[in-house]
Amino acid sequence: MIVAENLTRRFGDRIAVENLSLEIAEGEVFGFLGPNGAGKTTTVRMLAGLLAPTGGRAVVAGVDVVAQPQRVRTLVGILTEHPGLYEKLSAWHNLKFYADLYDLPNPQAQIEKYLRLLGLWERRFEPAGTFSKGMKQKLAIARALLHEPRVLFLDEPTSGLDPEAAKTVRDFIAQLASEKRTIFLCTHNLHEAEQLCTRIGLMRQRLIRVGSPTSLKRELYGRQIVIELQEPWTASEDLHLPFVRSVQRDDRRLLVELDDPEQHNPTLIKRLVELGAQIQFVREQDRTLEEVYLELISEEQR
């Protein structure tokens, strides 16, 4: 649904995005992560047909963003970093304006559908400027969806929202994903990315790494098993197991890195028991996406 090949954008001497290549399948929720100024918004603007790339190419929903940017804009929906609503106009008139620009055949029905879905119907005639931040964000999401785009670009959809409003927005994104829409999600909220995204791309002018949250964690840290013991393990003997990559001892805790724990865990535990370990709990070490992110960013800086 989204294909970019060596997509590049320069502003004078400064390179904002360099040789970005990626493919995003239909129905995928792709998380686009990176520090401030990493080129995320510029990438979204290029993919959504707002800004012309200075190099490379991209095809979104089957349309070339360089050759037909206006056509791309009719096919995608975009939630910009700021809701950017007309504050003196009512929620209804805000959406009516955009519905008319999209030349929708039945604008009233679409406006009503999304105002009801997002819980804004009762306040449709109130000026958008009187809305809370969460309500404004919902209205901006409604605006992005009015023309039923198959591709959605969401830039920081829950930024600055209180936990309840953020959850509502996240749930709504999950609902959109279940409708097989392709979602390109820029976020600094790594927990959100982990919850919602099928794959993650880490960006810092260029694409540093792409993968599912799980595969990125495994790629970076391998698979580690935490074994909690009743007593500190003092055995001096090595485990001598070919699938074990490393063992870290910490008082009553062992951290074992190994290949394919599903297959090798029984052998590992048997061996530990043979060596006198009194095992209380065994669990897989769960790395957070935040750890992965910080590790990859610092790796990139080195």
Binding site for another protein (CB under 8 A): 11, 45, 48-52, 70-71, 73-74, 78, 80-89, 93, 97-98, 100-103, 127, 140, 143
In the complex, the smallest distance separating the C-beta of residue 84 from another protein, rounded to whole angstroms, is: 4
Give the position of tokens 């001598």: 240
Nearer to another protein, 50 or 225 (CB): 50
In the complex, the smallest distance separating the C-beta of residue 99 from another protein, rounded to whole angstroms, is: 9
Nearer to another protein, 49 or 213 (CB): 49
Nearer to another protein, 140 or 202 (CB): 140
In the complex, the smallest distance separating the C-beta of residue 272 from another protein, rounded to whole angstroms, is: 58
In the complex, the smallest distance separating the C-beta of residue 256 from another protein, rounded to whole angstroms, is: 50
Nearer to another protein, 88 or 133 (CB): 88
Nearer to another protein, 146 or 289 (CB): 146
Amino acid at 132: S
Provide the sign of the torsion angle of the four alpha carbons 80, 85, 91, 95, taken in this order. Answer: negative
| Nearest Cα to Cα of residue 22 among 159, 222, 182 | 182
Decide if 156 contacts 192 (C-beta within 8 A).
no
In the complex, the smallest distance separating the C-beta of residue 107 from another protein, rounded to whole angstroms, is: 11
